Every structure is written in structure tokens, then in C-alpha cells.
């Protein structure tokens, strides 16, 4: 996926030597792209708000008649057909407002911003540690970004489909159980004390934004660090009360990019298998992970390493 890490590492070392071979500096913090996550989250919440708007406009206006038909024994099958048509109308109406092209366009833009953020962090890392500017051809990047776009378009479409399926189920079971219009719409919209379907959808939207931006940032970090010969990193957490115990147990430990099942607590002298209390993976792999990898740079012990 990446260009030869040994050749890139050697080139960086030669550049570093031409700068006077000063000792490597401590890597700077690799900042999490909070602003990009927020932008993605706001888009998804707006997406859900539009789902809510079309549901209220179409379903809630048609629901009294559907309930009335369901109470007419001589039309026992009609209300199910009516509800199916209403749900289809909601989907079509929403799709006319939020087109596939619009969704694709947003995903491409957010992916480009996340990559630009990660690229800046990477360049800052190399420049701070080695005192050189590093710009490399990344032939893997286009395909990687395209894959992320497709995956996230799929996640958002699935969010819509699952929301409509759940709403349909709420209405179906409510009508069969003899529930009132107020009871059914209350279960869909929720109250201050009891969340409804759209509250649950919004929670899911927030999770998608945090999880996907964190994963993509972690993937790019891993690829780019390995591309310059960095094989080990120190696990760093976000250092707040949201950090999971399984991640906090790894904080400050030296880890390997090519083997996430081990760690070192003595700076690489010995390696141990991760315990059951430790996460088995790299920063960003776990859902909603905000941890980051502090690259471990190895300074050349003699000039032959720079040749």
C-alpha cells in the first residue's frame, strides 16, 4: 500500500544529516480532528431532522385515517396497504430533498478535510522531530479515500432505512394493539422523559460521526508513520473521563504497528502479550476511539544507516 519505508526513512535521515544531524526532538501531540467530527455530526443531525420533518408532514397527517380504517372490520387488510404507501411516499419525498449526489458530495468533502488534517499532523511530526520537510507521493491515498466515502454513504443510507423500518414497526404494532394516534406519535417523537425513535436515531448519528472520523484518522496515521519506517509508537489517550479502562491501561506503553497483541513497559527491552484488561488493536480501531499514536523515531547509530 505504501512506498518503500526503508528508502523513505533513509532519505529523511540524509536530509536530517545535511541539516547538521541534530538530536531528534520529542514528537508533538497528534491532535484529534475535533472540528471535522463536529462538522460530520452536524450534517448527520441535519439529515435526521429532515427525516423527522418528512415523517411528521406525511405520516402524521395520514395516520388518523389509517387508524380509522383499521377499526373498520370490513376493511381489515386495507390499512396495511395504506401504511406501506405512506412510508414509500416519505422515502421518495426525503430522497428528492437529500439526493445521492448531495450525500456523495458531502462525504467527499469531509473525507478530503480529514485527510488534509492528518497530512498536516504528519508533516508537523517529521518537521518537528527531524527538522526536515517531507512530501511524498502516496499512490494508495485515492483508493483509501474512495473506500471511506463509499462506506460512509452506505452507513448514512442504512441509518435512514433502519429509522423508517423502526417507525413502520411502531405504527404496525401500535395499530394492531389498538393504540391511539397520540400514543403512536409519542413513541416516534418521544418526550422530555422518554426518548422516541428520532432521539435514538440522533444518538446513532453522533456515534457514526465520532467513530468514523476517529477510525479514518487512525488508519491514515498508521499508514503514514509506517511509510517512513516508524514501526513502534507510544499509546496516548485523550486523558479525560471518557477514556475506556482498556485504553487507559495502554497509556504510555510502547506498541508495535505490525503486532497489536503485544506491548512493552520498558521501552522495548522486553515485549509482553496484552492482558485481558487491554484493548487489542491500534489507536482509532475501537469504536469512538480518540487515542493517538506517538511515533517512536530511532536515531542512526552510525553514518552507514543514512547511506
Range of weakest confidence among 9-18, 21-30, 129-138, 141-150? 9-18
- At 1 the pLDDT is 52
Range of weakest confidence among 73-77, 103-107, 287-291, 293-297? 73-77
Query: Which of 118, 140, 150, 291 is CA-nearest to residue 216?
Result: 118
Confidence category of residue 132, pLDDT binned at 50, 70, 90: confident
Does the pTM surpass 0.75? The reply is yes
- At 124 the pLDDT is 92
The alpha helices in the chain, defined as continuous H runs, are 5-18, 34-54, 60-70, 78-97, 100-130, 141-176, 181-189, 197-227, 245-248
Query: Which of 4, 16, 68 is CA-nearest to residue 297?
Result: 16
Domain limits of the chain? 5-230, 231-307
The alpha helices in 78-140, defined as continuous H runs, are 78-97, 100-130
Amino acid at each position: 500500500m505504501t512506498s518503500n519505508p526503508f528508502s523513505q526513512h533513509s532519505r529523511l535521515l540524509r536530509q536530517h544529516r545535511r541539516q547538521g544531524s541534530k538530536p531528534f526532538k520529542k514528537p508533538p501531540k497528534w491532535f484529534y480532528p475535533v472540528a471535522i467530527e463536529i462538522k460530520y455530526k452536524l450534517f448527520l443531525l441535519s439529515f435526521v431532522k429532515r427525516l423527522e420533518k418528512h415523517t411528521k408532514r406525511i405520516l402524521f397527517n395520514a395516520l388518523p385515517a389509517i387508524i380509522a380504517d383499521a377499526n373498520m372490520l370490513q376493511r381489515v387488510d386495507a390499512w396495511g396497504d395504506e401504511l406501506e404507501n405512506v412510508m414509500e411516499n416519505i422515502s421518495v419525498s426525503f430522497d428528492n430533498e437529500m439526493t445521492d449526489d448531495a450525500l456523495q458530495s458531502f462525504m467527499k468533502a469531509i473525507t478530503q478535510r480529514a485527510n488534509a488534517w492528518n497530512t498536516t499532523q504528519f508533516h508537523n511530526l517529521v518537521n518537528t522531530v527531524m527538522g526536515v520537510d517531507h512530501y511524498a507521493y502516496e499512490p494508495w491515498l485515492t483508493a483509501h479515500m474512495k473506500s471511506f466515502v463509499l462506506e460512509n454513504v452506505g452507513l448514512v443510507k442504512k441509518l435512514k432505512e433502519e429509522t423508517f423500518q423502526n417507525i413502520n414497526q411502531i405504527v404496525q404494532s401500535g395499530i394492531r394493539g389498538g393504540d391511539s394516534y397520540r400514543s403512536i406519535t409519542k413513541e416516534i417523537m418521544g418526550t422530555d422523559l422518554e426518548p422516541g425513535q428520532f432521539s435514538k436515531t440522533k444518538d446513532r448519528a453522533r456515534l457514526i460521526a465520532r467513530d468514523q472520523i476517529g477510525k479514518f484518522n487512525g488508519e491514515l496515521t498508521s499508514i503514514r508513520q509506517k511509510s517512513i519506517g516508524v514501526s513502534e509508537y507510544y499509546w496516548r489517550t485523550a486523558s479525560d473521563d471518557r477514556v475506556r479502562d482498556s485504553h487507559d491501561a495502554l497509556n504510555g506503553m510502547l506498541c508495535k504497528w505490525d503486532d497489536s497483541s503485544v506491548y512493552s513497559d520498558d521501552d522495548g527491552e522486553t515485549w509482553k502479550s496484552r492482558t485481558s484488561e487491554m484493548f487489542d488493536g491500534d489507536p482509532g480501531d475501537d469504536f469512538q476511539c480518540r487515542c493517538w499514536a506517538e511515533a517512536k523515531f530511532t536515531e542512526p547509530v552510525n553514518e552507514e544507516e543514512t547511506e
